[in-house]
C-alpha cells in the first residue's frame, strides 16, 4: 500500500539553502528560528490566521511583529481546529538580517545567552502579557534543514474524558469532555488498539475532494489517570481532518456499550462515514508532542515529505 502523505494545511516554507541555520527567503539569506508553543484553544478560532477572527497564529505573529517592527510568517507542524489546545506545538519563522538583529539584540542588564535567540520567547510573552492563553515556551536557532512542517515524522494528541466514575473538576473544564455515563475503559482501550497500523481511515475523517485518507496510526490506547479521568494517547504520522475526535467518538460508543470492539474495525473497513457514533467535541483534545528525526536527517526528511505530498492533502487536529 502506498505510504500516507505527510503534510499540514499551512503554506509551503522555503527549502533549506545549505548553510547551517541559513535559508533562502525572497532571494536573500534568512535565519530560521524554532518556536515551541502552548495554548488554551478555548478562546481561539483555531491556529490559522483568519480575517476578523482571533487565532493562535495571528496572536503570536502580531506579537512578533511588534518586536521585529515588521511582519513575519509562522509555519506550523500541524494546524489545530477551533477549541483544540496544545502543549507541544512547533512552528518556525524565517527572519531577514534586520529582523534577526532585532530578535537577538541585547536587553539592558541581561547576559546574552549561548543561543542569542533564546530570549525571544520571554520578549514575546512580555507582549502577550501575564496570564495569556497562548505562550511561546521556547525559541531556538533551528538546526540546518529543520522545517517545522515537513521535517516532522509524527504528531501526538491526548484526549481527556471525565465520566461518572471520575466526576467533574471545574478547574479542568476547558480541556476535559464530560460524559454522563460510566464508560468501560478496558473495552475502549481494546477498541483503540485494534485500529493501530497503516489503514485507510476514510470512515474516521471528514472527506475532502481528492485527498488521501490513508494514515499510519502508530499508537492508540486509553488509561485512567490518578483522578479516574480517561485519557487517550493518539500518535500517527499524520491526521486527516476530524480524525482524532472521530476515533474518540467510536471508542466512547464502545465504552457505553452501543458498539462492540470489533465494530470499530468493521466501520473502518467500510470506508464511509457513519452515524453509528458521534464525533467528540474539540474541548478535550490537546496536541502534546511533535516528533522529528535526528538533526542530521532533518533536511532529508523535509525533502522526502515534499517529494511525495498530495497537493490536496491536509493534516487536521482533530
Give the C-alpha separation, 187 to 194, whole Å: 11
Task: Decide if 9 contacts 315 (C-beta within 8 A).
Answer: yes
Distance from C-alpha of 113 to C-alpha of 254, rounded to nearest angstrom: 52
Residues whose CB is less than 8 angstroms from the CB of residue 172 and which lie 6 or more positions away in sequence, other chains included? 160, 162, 229
**Distance from C-alpha of 163 to C-alpha of 176, rounded to nearest angstrom:** 10
Integer-rounded Cα radius of gyration of the chain:
20
Separation CA 40–CA 135 (nearest Å): 9
Helices (H), 94-184: 97-103, 120-128
Name the strand (E) or helix (H) holding 268: helix 261-270
Q: How far is CA 31 from CA 61, 99, 115, 167, in A?
A: 16, 9, 13, 49
Examine the residue annotation and report whether 175 is marked as an active-site residue of this protein.
no
Give the contacts of 140 (CB within 8 A, at least 6 positions apart): 33, 34, 115, 117, 118
Among residues 280, 161, 166, 181, which one has the least CA distance to residue 232? 161
Of 15, 162, 149, residue with least CA distance to 74:
149
Q: Which residue in this structure is represented by grid cell 507541544?
A: 88
Active-site residue, selected from the candidate residues 81, 184, 189, 237: 81
Which residues contact residue 159 at a Cβ distance below 8 angstroms, ignoring those fewer than 6 apart? 177, 231, 232, 234, 244, 245, 248, 280, 284, 285, 286
* Residues known to be catalytic: 81
Amino acid at each position: 500500500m502506498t505510504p500516507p502523505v505527510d503534510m499540514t494545511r499551512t503554506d509551503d516554507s522555503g527549502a533549506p539553502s545549505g548553510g547551517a541555520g541559513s535559508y533562502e527567503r525572497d532571494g536573500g539569506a534568512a535565519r530560521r528560528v524554532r518556536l515551541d508553543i502552548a495554548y488554551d484553544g478555548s478562546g481561539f478560532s483555531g491556529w490559522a490566521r483568519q480575517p476578523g477572527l482571533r487565532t493562535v497564529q495571528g496572536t503570536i505573529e502580531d506579537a512578533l511583529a511588534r518586536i521585529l517592527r515588521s511582519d513575519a510568517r509562522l509555519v506550523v507542524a500541524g494546524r489545530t481546529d477551533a477549541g483544540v489546545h496544545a502543549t507541544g506545538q512547533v512552528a518556525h519563522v524565517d527572519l531577514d538580517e534586520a529582523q534577526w538583529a532585532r530578535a537577538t539584540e541585547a536587553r539592558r542588564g541581561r547576559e546574552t545567552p549561548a543561543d542569542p535567540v533564546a530570549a525571544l520567547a520571554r520578549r514575546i510573552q512580555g507582549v502577550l502579557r501575564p496570564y495569556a492563553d497562548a505562550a511561546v515556551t521556547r525559541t531556538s536557532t533551528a538546526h540546518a534543514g529543520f522545517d517545522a512542517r515537513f521535517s516532522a515524522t509524527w504528531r501526538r494528541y491526548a484526549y481527556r474524558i471525565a465520566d461518572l466514575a471520575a466526576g467533574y473538576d471545574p478547574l479542568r473544564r476547558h480541556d476535559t469532555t464530560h460524559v454522563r455515563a460510566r464508560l468501560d475503559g478496558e473495552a475502549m482501550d481494546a477498541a483503540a488498539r485494534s485500529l493501530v497500523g497503516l489503514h485507510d481511515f476514510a470512515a474516521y475523517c471528514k472527506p475532502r475532494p481528492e485527498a488521501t485518507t490513508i494514515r499510519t496510526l502508530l499508537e492508540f490506547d486509553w488509561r485512567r489517570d490518578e483522578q479516574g479521568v480517561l485519557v487517550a494517547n493518539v500518535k500517527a504520522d499524520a491526521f486527516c481532518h476530524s480524525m482524532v475526535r472521530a476515533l474518540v467518538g467510536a471508542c466512547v460508543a464502545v465504552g457505553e456499550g452501543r458498539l462492540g470492539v470489533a465494530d470499530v474495525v468493521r466501520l473502518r473497513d467500510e470506508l464511509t462515514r457513519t452515524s453509528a457514533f458521534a464525533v467528540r467535541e474539540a474541548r478535550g483534545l490537546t496536541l502534546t508532542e511533535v516528533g522529528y528525526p535526528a538533526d542530521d536527517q532533518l533536511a532529508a526528511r523535509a525533502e522526502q515529505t515534499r517529494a511525495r505530498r498530495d497537493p490536496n492533502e491536509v493534516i487536521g487536529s482533530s
